[in-house]
Chain A
């Protein structure tokens, strides 16, 4: 019965007391939520370091930051998914411990996750009913959901199956599900990352309506334009620390970007080679439609990498990086043969092995399961990746193609020595290596071929500092030796360390490239937040 009771209260607010905060427990004039010195340690790594955050009743509060800034860790602690290491959370002035999502819901905190947890085979009403305790009848749930969705402008058909719905509609289910609990604070994690602009506009109307009822919204985003448009205040995180608390409307996009990206780190540029050769890797108006509802479509991407250059592609995760890697590497060939060129030959429709044979090397993002099979030994993983490109060296026996274990083992040893891979035994399973050492091996596996073109996605994601610097050095050395290197990375420090040119990807569009030494972090932040003129130029490119 409880949830319906709450829903009925939500109805009351709607009917008359606009602007007043419905009272739960006690009246409070102070902040709705105050977080003091909240810290979360994973081992010795501080994902959140002494965070202060204050949310007033009836405000839309933005939480800004890059990937890995600690935004998700912070909201997980607020929603009871993670336990803080230290610090306190005060709810309406009272010190509270939130140990589970249901604790959070009881207090009046609702959350809409970035990736939904919906049952595709069930109807909208059934999905909503499942998240409610007690034994409210399905018909009653459907009725309540329909009423709420009408009030908040979230049109939903309770009888529709989730499998048939768009991503935007699925998000509405999550929002209605949260609203049924009558929350005072609603946390939305990157809600517009999966929405069309029209759907996003509708969402903003809903958020403004919630605010007008005195509810608060914690809005997590990296999109500066949205934050300036709808948020009353903003807290900016960088590397687990608060770097600013401000009124976003009083700031310029540039100042917000500076808080988000940071300007405290000195800009390091590699001593770029003076000799730039021919274009070795090129994308010509590369457009790829999204393969799944959560994928990003690539829109008219143009890029060129010359021999001796390192082009780094910056951007917040989920803006088309993996789709770009798939198209460039041939994991998913594209329809237009001319759209991708390796060493000035069209390869768009060729698969990854054909592209390797033309002198390219590719290192994908995930170490386990994608770049390496954990259960197989390093030498087996080497053969799997290079059986085509090194057929003569590794395979013998004519048509039988028997693996030459001696040659493979020797190559494995050579790679391990070149990249300083620390491992137990001569040829252990890939899964037994630490993340950094395995990453060194899979990068080294490609470098060992001295590829003329190397495309690498997130080369040092989640590896220790020593391994990261070894890998970055190897990438710079490869370019110096005359190869064209393309690095896709979310780590701006890394990008400034290795890149000679930098471009930014945002929502599947790539900005113009900028020479690394001319580009400020502020400008990158703006481009990552989608504030640039590239949209017009892309439109112009479409026009002709």
Chain B
């Protein structure tokens, strides 16, 4: 593997957790639920994935544990905001704080342990293609899952009737309710999907990106994922493009710092955030398209009339 390929490979590894968490949050927000607890669900996924891998010995058990942790956490959020109609913003923030705290406690005994890295799976024939093969077809299971989730989310939202109902719930929950769509159930499922994706993203962090447990290892990626969803105007392909752009700039700036370019390191460290936001703002300048894709009832609680 040459240096360019190595860089591209690390870009993909850096972008995958962002893409996963953002796609999950996108589905939740399309249904009208703003879950600011992505960071908390992600870190819970990371610690549970690492712990399960250590205890059971298989990173695949870790992946399942990570997904389950994110899903359970999102159910807590769903219960508070959908059943008890608590404020979504406050509950989401609390979920993030809770996740950071609980993960630190759970992970204490795993600190400094040597992790087990999720091994790549080479796809026969395709992985033999020069350059592209090793990059895209000799990847780990979580990367393959992220591609499947992207395609699946796109098809579900824009081609399936269930996805249409989900978007209808996000656009006007009272009209959807009047048409007989179960608003609360739809939102629960969307929140659950978002939590599972965030948990999987966390598992990627502690099993692939840096196979060990470090406190706060999600390092704000949940917040980046949230921002990606908004700046990508709730469109899956743009979320992925934004995620990879962020990954690319953050890896390049690391290399740039290593080469010792005469730019202050603080600026280089900020560069991924700046670049991603500027590019996404530029591509979402079409106000009409943005309006049409914005879930109109995002963050608004739904209480059915009886």
- Neighbour of A121 across the interface among B165, B181, B296, CB < 8 A: B296
CA distance A514 to B74 in the complex (A): 66
A117, A119, A138: most-surrounded residue (chain B CB, <10 A): A119
Least Cβ distance of A127 to chain B in Å?
8
- Are B178 and A120 in touch, CB under 8 angstroms? no
CA distance A161 to B291 in the complex (A): 11
Number of A interface residues in the complex (CB < 8 A): 16
Q: B273-292 interface mask toward A, CB cutoff 8 Å, 1 = contact, 0 = none?
A: 00000000000000010011
- Are B161 and A161 in touch, CB under 8 angstroms? no
**B294 on interface, CB distance cutoff 8 Å:** yes
Least Cβ distance of B92 to chain A in Å?
23
B161, B168, B176: most-surrounded residue (chain A CB, <10 A): B161
Q: A113-124 interface mask toward B, CB cutoff 8 Å, 1 = contact, 0 = none?
A: 000011111100
CA distance A120 to B165 in the complex (A): 14
Least Cβ distance of A518 to chain B in Å?
47
- Are A135 and B294 in touch, CB under 8 angstroms? no
- Are B288 and A119 in touch, CB under 8 angstroms? no
Least Cβ distance of B275 to chain A in Å?
29
CA distance A63 to B284 in the complex (A): 49
Q: Looking at chain B, what size class is its interface with the partner chain?
A: 20 to 34
**A380 on interface, CB distance cutoff 8 Å:** no
CA distance A109 to B179 in the complex (A): 16
- Are A130 and B165 in touch, CB under 8 angstroms? yes
- Are A129 and B164 in touch, CB under 8 angstroms? yes
Residues of chain A contacted by B180 (CB below 8 angstroms): 102
Residues of chain A contacted by B159 (CB below 8 angstroms): 138
Number of A-B contacts (CB under 8 A): 50
CA distance A102 to B180 in the complex (A): 10
**A164 on interface, CB distance cutoff 8 Å:** yes
- Are B296 and A120 in touch, CB under 8 angstroms? yes
Residues of chain B contacted by A102 (CB below 8 angstroms): 180
Residues of chain B contacted by A130 (CB below 8 angstroms): 164-165, 168, 176, 179, 181
Residues 109-168 of B contacting A (Cβ, < 8 Å): 159, 161, 164-165, 167-168
Least Cβ distance of A79 to chain B in Å?
13
Least Cβ distance of B173 to chain A in Å?
10
Least Cβ distance of B246 to chain A in Å?
27
**B295 on interface, CB distance cutoff 8 Å:** yes
**B172 on interface, CB distance cutoff 8 Å:** yes
CA distance A126 to B163 in the complex (A): 11
Check A163/B175 contact, CB under 8 A, given A121-B167, A122-B168, A130-B164: no
**B252 on interface, CB distance cutoff 8 Å:** no
- Are A163 and B291 in touch, CB under 8 angstroms? yes
**B29 on interface, CB distance cutoff 8 Å:** no
Residues of chain A contacted by B288 (CB below 8 angstroms): 163-164
- Are A121 and B295 in touch, CB under 8 angstroms? yes
- Are B292 and A121 in touch, CB under 8 angstroms? yes
Residues of chain B contacted by A122 (CB below 8 angstroms): 164, 167-168, 171
Least Cβ distance of A137 to chain B in Å?
9
- Are A117 and B161 in touch, CB under 8 angstroms? no
**B293 on interface, CB distance cutoff 8 Å:** yes
A102, A118, A122, A130: most-surrounded residue (chain B CB, <10 A): A130
Which residue of A has the minimal Cβ distance to B175? A117
- Are A121 and B293 in touch, CB under 8 angstroms? yes
- Are A119 and B175 in touch, CB under 8 angstroms? yes
**A263 on interface, CB distance cutoff 8 Å:** no
Least Cβ distance of B171 to chain A in Å?
4
Least Cβ distance of B177 to chain A in Å?
10
Which residue of A has the minimal Cβ distance to B174? A117
- Are B178 and A121 in touch, CB under 8 angstroms? no
Residues of chain A contacted by B293 (CB below 8 angstroms): 121
**A434 on interface, CB distance cutoff 8 Å:** no
- Are B164 and A135 in touch, CB under 8 angstroms? no
Residues of chain A contacted by B294 (CB below 8 angstroms): 121
Check A119/B172 contact, CB under 8 A, given A163-B291, A164-B288: yes
- Are A131 and B179 in touch, CB under 8 angstroms? yes
Which residue of B has the minimal Cβ distance to A125? B164
Residues of chain A contacted by B164 (CB below 8 angstroms): 122, 126, 129-130, 138
- Are A121 and B175 in touch, CB under 8 angstroms? no
Check A121/B161 contact, CB under 8 A, given A131-B179, A163-B292: no
Which residue of A has the minimal Cβ distance to B161? A135
Residues of chain B contacted by A135 (CB below 8 angstroms): 161
CA distance A203 to B292 in the complex (A): 28
Q: A92-109 interface mask toward B, CB cutoff 8 Å, 1 = contact, 0 = none?
A: 000000000010000000
Least Cβ distance of B114 to chain A in Å?
50
- Are B171 and A121 in touch, CB under 8 angstroms? yes
Residues of chain B contacted by A120 (CB below 8 angstroms): 171-172, 292, 296
Least Cβ distance of A522 to chain B in Å?
40
Residues of chain A contacted by B292 (CB below 8 angstroms): 120-121, 161, 163
CA distance A121 to B173 in the complex (A): 12
Residues of chain A contacted by B167 (CB below 8 angstroms): 119, 121-122, 126
Least Cβ distance of A22 to chain B in Å?
26
Residues of chain A contacted by B179 (CB below 8 angstroms): 117, 130-131
Which residue of A has the minimal Cβ distance to B162? A135
Residues 159-177 of A contacting B (Cβ, < 8 Å): 161, 163-164
Which residue of A has the minimal Cβ distance to B172? A119
CA distance A131 to B175 in the complex (A): 10
Residues of chain B contacted by A121 (CB below 8 angstroms): 167, 170-171, 291-296
Q: A480-521 interface mask toward B, CB cutoff 8 Å, 1 = contact, 0 = none?
A: 000000000000000000000000000000000000000000
**Chain A residues within CB distance 8 Å of chain B:** 102, 117-122, 126, 129-131, 135, 138, 161, 163-164
**Chain B residues within CB distance 8 Å of chain A:** 159, 161, 164-165, 167-168, 170-172, 175-176, 178-181, 288, 291-296
Instruction: Knowing that A119-B176, A121-B296 touch, tell me 15 more A-B residue pairs with CB under 8 angstroms.
Output: A117-B172, A117-B175, A117-B179, A118-B175, A119-B175, A120-B172, A120-B296, A121-B170, A121-B293, A121-B294, A121-B295, A126-B168, A130-B165, A130-B168, A130-B179
User: Can you offer 14 A-B residue contacts whose CB atoms are under 8 A?
Assistant: A102-B180, A117-B179, A119-B167, A119-B168, A120-B171, A121-B171, A122-B171, A126-B167, A126-B168, A130-B168, A131-B179, A138-B159, A161-B292, A163-B291
10 smallest beta-carbon distances between A and B, as pairs: A121-B171, A119-B171, A117-B175, A121-B292, A119-B168, A161-B292, A130-B168, A126-B164, A119-B172, A130-B179
